[in-house]
């Protein structure tokens, strides 16, 4: 613990001021009320999941993220204020590994801010707003406040910001508390782009002293407000010019300000965290208490668990799903770290940490105007936590058996990092768990080797996601993927033969290799490829490559390269494989059949939407096993909610009536020009076609008024095989654009069975109580009936399609 922290503990509360205690809800309201009175537009927080297709930004990490376009291109003056949800975990700004070690680091935090775009208010007004809010509204002792300003950089032609210094003098800040700094008070968006001088307000947590020498030096004096005067722009050569317009961007950490107005040692002592820490205490077997110590390992874990569960809750409410890539990987990492640390260090029951989630949610749902999405998705969040908990501990137990086998065979005192990494990659077992198990046997793990393996895997994963391989069709003249269409319907089921083929080339790290070793990930190109590569919205096949009946390669995905001319399989070698190896292909047949049903249903949905007048054409789709997402244009959409529900009910009836009648699927390959002449063609002729001059035209059902589309996907041979289609949600995605999510086959059947059960339960219920019960039952439908990705379904179910019109 440094000197500043010790002094805070010793003196906090010794210099009480006249300020009034604010709860976190009161602080939030006072901020909005103040800036509304200053003619600011109050803007809702953007999602923590960025809308931009930016591979470097996993989460929204600053208040200004959603305003980039206004900064760079707007011309109209505009005053804005908001409190933005931010997560700094992964990417350039990453606090993930520092949480718990001190009293202030958090992954999820809230950033209060107000903005002036295009001279909507002046520098003087910005400083006055900040000072008045802190001193007059919140009652913070002005004697504890210090301000810093930009001291100038002569070699860059940037003078001292004397205007700002004079503004603070005129406000009434004594000269000895107005301090010039250089690097600390010049803000930049990046190496190039908007930049400018800034001024900051700092608060002395101790008081009763001259702390001017401690500003930007000691953590007993903390920055609470940063005001950026965005008046410059830096070009790629490093030169700085005038931006031509003036913007002001201010930011203030909500939790830190809360600790100041509540006179607490740290953010974790405020009423945002106190209920969470108290609940963690009740979950520990020994009823451990949080004491706010930096030196205590237990207190560090208290902070880590509180922060990580809080951050994961927010991320999931905004649509993040725990998985193995992107922001989903970070969410899963935070959750698993909480499970592990909570269990091993605090003695929380293996499946007990999900009980903390309702408490976390309760600290957020009171802010209905800001985080209503947390309350709406509360059941979903809790269910995801429970599922992740169950899966994690299953993984740990399974991996432990494998660890024990390897450790007993190894007489050395060191477990290799490669073996530890294989446990991590194959079973998801965290390194910390492996280290703990090794210690129990008197052994240690080669952590440096583990880090090297992890770095190699990360590089491969990044390259794999981009699929930028040196693969060209001219190098593989015998390659073809037409075997993906080779399947038959026999004895009431689809038959997919194990197509024999030859491996034409093996790749790893974007390079050709002689052999892909056991447990290594890489790519293969086959001569006769049976696997469908992701294309036209249809997800790729997965499966296995067999050699002499042995599984030698797990196919995790398939992609098209060289303008769709070559299909490349990505996966992991279970045995060494190399070029010229003869293999048999084994698709995941159940998945392929489910995808075929969903893809054919997508075509029929497009047909039914256009036939009913609800839709004007497809704008995008995603097809997976027995589930689909379909984006469509609506033209002038004047239907209200009840009318749309009735229209969708009718549309679903048309779909299933057509499916029930049955009808064969026909596929022809024709020229591009001939395809354009087909009168009832529902789709635009696109370039993702087989070969250079042909397209596949898929017709579903018999008769004149049937679905006809250009498509390279795989389909059922008869529409009756789809069995059933159930529309789960229909929501607006923007002007004249809507999205339908639907399920097919067995999943649709489950949906209907559940709906009938709901109807029976509600039929005897008083009318006034039905809406309340329906909300609960919608959530149950989410958790009990469907086993597939929540990212696809979301949380909006059209249960009234099956129930509302009957009640």
Contact 503/526 with Cβ under 8 angstroms? yes
Sign of CA dihedral 704, 707, 710, 715: negative
Q: For Cα atoms 651, 654, 657, give the angle at the middle one, nearest 5 degrees.
A: 150
Residue pLDDT, tens place only, 524-544:
999 999 999 998 889 999 999
Q: What is the pLDDT of residue 630?
A: 92
Tell me how crowded residue 744 is: count the other CB atoms within 10 A of its CB.
31
Domain ranges of the chain: 3-50+58-263, 274-384, 473-587, 592-662+722-806
CA-to-CA distance for 46 and 368, rounded, in angstroms? 15
Residue found under tokens 């299953």: 394
CA-to-CA distance for 89 and 48, rounded, in angstroms? 11
Residue found under tokens 């003249």: 477
- Mean per-residue pLDDT, 408-426: 85
Beta strand 515-516 with 577-578 is: antiparallel
Instruction: Out of 95-99, 441-445, 663-667, 724-728, pick the least confident.
Output: 95-99
Ramachandran category for residue 461: left, alpha or beta (phi over 0 → left; psi -120 to 50 → alpha): alpha
Q: What is the pLDDT of residue 523?
A: 95
Residue found under tokens 């992701």: 534
Q: For Cα atoms 459, 462, 466, give the angle at the middle one, nearest 5 degrees.
A: 140
Instruction: Out of 45-49, 242-246, 384-388, 510-514, pick the least confident.
Output: 242-246
473-587 maps to which CATH number?
Answer: 2.40.30.130
DSSP output for 533-557: PSBTTBPPP-EEEEETTEEEEEEEE
Residue pLDDT, tens place only, 297-311:
999 999 999 999 999
Four-way CATH pick for 3-50+58-263: 3.30.930.10, 3.40.50.2300, 2.60.40.650, 3.90.1300.10: 3.30.930.10
Contact 304/288 with Cβ under 8 angstroms? no
Half-sphere exposure of 316 (CA within 13 A, CB side): 30
Cα distances from 526 to residues 128, 500, 571, in angstroms, run 69, 10, 13
CA-to-CA distance for 798 and 514, rounded, in angstroms? 54
User: Residue 599 annotated as binding?
Assistant: yes
Q: Please check whether the domain covering 592-662+722-806 is classified as CATH 3.40.50.2300.
A: no
- Mean per-residue pLDDT, 215-239: 86
Is residue 611 within a helix (H) or strand (E), and if so which, with residue range? Answer: helix 589-612
Q: What is the pLDDT of residue 713?
A: 93
Q: Extract long-range pairs of 428-435: CB within 8 Å, 24+ residues apart.
A: 428/336, 428/392, 428/395, 428/399, 429/395, 429/396, 429/399, 429/400, 429/403, 430/336, 430/337, 430/340, 432/340, 433/340, 433/396, 433/399, 434/403
Residue pLDDT, tens place only, 336-374:
889 988 998 899 999 999 999 999 998 887 655 568 888
Query: Is the per-residue pLDDT at 3 higher than 70?
Result: no
Residue found under tokens 């390959």: 669
Tell me how crowded residue 603 is: count the other CB atoms within 10 A of its CB.
28
Report the percent of the chain where pLDDT is more than 90. Answer: 48
Residue pLDDT, tens place only, 591-638:
999 999 999 999 999 999 988 888 888 888 899 999 999 988 886 567
Q: DSSP character for 718? A: B
Task: Give the phi and the psi of residue 544 in degrees, each rounded to 5.
Answer: -140, 155
Cα distances from 802 to residues 115, 228, 288, 548, 650, in angstroms, run 47, 54, 49, 51, 11
- Torsion of the alpha carbons at 282, 287, 292 and 295, rounded to the nearest 10: -140
User: Residue 104 annotated as binding?
Assistant: no
- Residue 410 or 796, more confident: 410
SS (H, E, C) 79-135: EEEEEEEEECCCCCCCCHHHCCCCCCCCCEEEEEEEEEECCCCCHHHHHHHHHHHHH
User: Residue 24 annotated as binding?
Assistant: no
CA-to-CA distance for 594 and 586, rounded, in angstroms? 16
Farthest CA pair distance, the chain: 91
Tell me how crowded residue 287 is: count the other CB atoms within 10 A of its CB.
9
Contact 433/440 with Cβ under 8 angstroms? no
Tell me how crowded residue 488 is: count the other CB atoms within 10 A of its CB.
10
Q: How confident is the model at residue 93 (pLDDT cuts 50, 70, 90)?
A: low
Contact 524/464 with Cβ under 8 angstroms? no
DSSP output for 295-310: S-HHHHHHHHHHHHHH
Identify which of 361, 310, 368, 288 has the alpha carbon closest to the alpha carbon of residue 89.
Answer: 310
Cα distances from 381 to residues 130, 315, 324, 360, 376, in angstroms, run 37, 9, 18, 11, 10
Half-sphere exposure of 732 (CA within 13 A, CB side): 11
Query: Is the per-residue pLDDT at 95 higher than 70?
Result: yes
Six token digits for residue 30: 């006072």
CA-to-CA distance for 42 and 266, rounded, in angstroms? 28
Q: What is the pLDDT of residue 333?
A: 87
CA-to-CA distance for 724 and 623, rounded, in angstroms? 16
CA-to-CA distance for 741 and 798, rounded, in angstroms? 10
Q: What is the pLDDT of residue 509?
A: 83
Cα distances from 594 to residues 64, 435, 748, in angstroms, run 43, 42, 12
pTM of the model: 0.57
Residue pLDDT, tens place only, 753-799:
877 777 777 776 766 666 666 656 554 544 333 333 222 233 233 44
**Which residues touch 567 (CB under 8 Å, ≥6 apart)?**
479, 481, 525, 526, 529, 531, 533, 558, 559, 560, 561
């Amino acid at each position: 613990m440094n000197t500043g922290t010790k002094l805070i503990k010793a003196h906090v509360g010794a210099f009480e001021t006249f300020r009034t205690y604010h709860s976190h809800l009161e602080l939030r309201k006072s901020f909005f009320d103040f800036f509304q009175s200053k003619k600011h537009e109050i803007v809702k927080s953007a999602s923590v999941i960025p809308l931009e297709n930016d591979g470097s930004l996993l989460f929204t990490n600053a208040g200004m993220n959603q305003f980039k376009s206004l900064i760079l291109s707007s011309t109209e003056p505009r005053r804005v204020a908001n409190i933005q949800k931010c997560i700094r975990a992964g990417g350039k700004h990453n606090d993930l590994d520092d949480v718990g070690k001190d009293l202030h680091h958090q992954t999820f935090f809230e950033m209060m801010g107000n903005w002036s775009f295009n001279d909507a208010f002046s520098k003087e007004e910005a400083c006055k707003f900040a000072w008045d809010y802190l001193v007059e509204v919140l009652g913070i002792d002005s004697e504890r406040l210090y301000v810093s300003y930009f001291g100038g950089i002569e070699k860059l032609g940037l003078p001292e910001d004397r205007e700002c210094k004079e503004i603070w003098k005129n406000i009434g800040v004594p000269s000895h508390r107005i301090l010039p700094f250089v690097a600390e008070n010049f803000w930049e968006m990046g190496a190039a782009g908007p930049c400018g001088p800034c001024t900051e307000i700092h608060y002395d947590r101790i008081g009763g002293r001259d702390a001017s020498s401690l500003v930007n030096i000691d953590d007993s004096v903390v920055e609470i407000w940063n005001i950026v005067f965005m008046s410059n722009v830096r070009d790629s050569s490093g030169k700085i010019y005038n931006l031509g317009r003036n913007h002001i961007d201010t930011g203030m950490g909500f939790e830190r300000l809360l600790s100041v107005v509540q006179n607490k040692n740290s953010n974790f002592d405020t009423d945002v965290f106190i209920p969470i820490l108290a609940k963690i205490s009740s979950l520990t077997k020994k009823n451990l208490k949080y004491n706010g110590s930096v030196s205590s390992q237990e207190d560090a874990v208290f902070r880590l668990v509180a922060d990580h569960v809080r951050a994961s809750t927010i991320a999931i409410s905004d649509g993040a799903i725990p998985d193995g890539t992107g922001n989903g990987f970070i969410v899963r990492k935070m959750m698993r770290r909480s499970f592990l640390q909570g269990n091993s260090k605090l003695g929380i029951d293996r499946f007990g940490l999900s009980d903390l989630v309702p408490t976390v949610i309760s600290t957020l749902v009171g802010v209905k105007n800001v985080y209503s999405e947390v309350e709406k998705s509360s059941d979903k969040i809790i269910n995801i936590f429970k599922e992740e908990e169950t899966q994690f501990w299953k993984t740990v137990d399974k991996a432990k058996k494998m660890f024990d086998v390897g450790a007993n065979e190894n007489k050395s005192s060191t477990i290799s990092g490669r073996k530890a990494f294989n446990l991590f990659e194959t079973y998801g077992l965290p390194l910390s768990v492996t280290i703990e198990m090794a210690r129990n046997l008197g052994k240690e793990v080669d952590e440096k080797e583990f880090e090297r393996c992890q770095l190699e895997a990360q590089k491969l994963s990044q390259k794999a996601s981009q699929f930028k391989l040196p693969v060209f069709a001219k190098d593989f003249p015998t390659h073809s993927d037409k075997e993906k269409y080779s399947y038959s319907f026999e004895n009431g089921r689809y038959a997919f033969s194990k197509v024999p083929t030859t491996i034409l080339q093996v790749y790893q790290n974007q390079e050709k290799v002689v052999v892909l070793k056991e447990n290594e990930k890489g790519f293969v190109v086959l001569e006769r490829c049976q696997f469908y590569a992701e294309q036209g919205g249809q997800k790729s096949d997965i499966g296995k490559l067999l050699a002499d009946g042995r599984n030698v390669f797990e196919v995790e995905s398939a992609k098209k390269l060289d303008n769709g001319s070559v299909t490349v399989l990505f996966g992991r070698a279970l045995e060494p494989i190399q070029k010229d190896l003869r293999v048999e292909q084994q698709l995941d047949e159940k998945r392929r059949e489910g995808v075929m049903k969903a893809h054919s249903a997508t075509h029929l949905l497009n047909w039914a939407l256009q036939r009913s007048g609800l839709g004007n054409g497809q704008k995008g789709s995603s097809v997976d096993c027995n589930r689909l997402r379909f984006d469509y244009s609506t033209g002038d959409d004047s239907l209200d909610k009840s009318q749309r529900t009735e229209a969708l009910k009718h549309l679903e009836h048309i779909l299933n009536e057509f499916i029930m009648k049955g009808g064969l699927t026909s596929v022809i390959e024709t020229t591009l020009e001939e395809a354009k002449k087909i009168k009832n063609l529902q789709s635009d002729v696109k370039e993702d076609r087989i070969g250079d001059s042909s397209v596949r035209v898929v017709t579903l059902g018999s008769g004149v008024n049937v679905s006809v589309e250009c498509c390279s996907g795989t389909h059922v041979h008869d529409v009756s095989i789809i069995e059933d289609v159930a529309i789960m949600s229909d929501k607006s995605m923007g002007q004249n654009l809507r999205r339908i999510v639907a399920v097919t086959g067995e999943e649709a059947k489950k949906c209907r069975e559940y709906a009938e059960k709901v109807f029976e339960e509600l039929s005897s219920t008083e009318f006034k109580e039905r809406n309340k019960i329906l909300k609960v039952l919608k959530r149950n439908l989410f958790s009990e009936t469907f086993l597939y990705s929540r990212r696809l379904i979301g949380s909006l179910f059209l249960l009234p399609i099956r129930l509302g019109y009957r009640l």
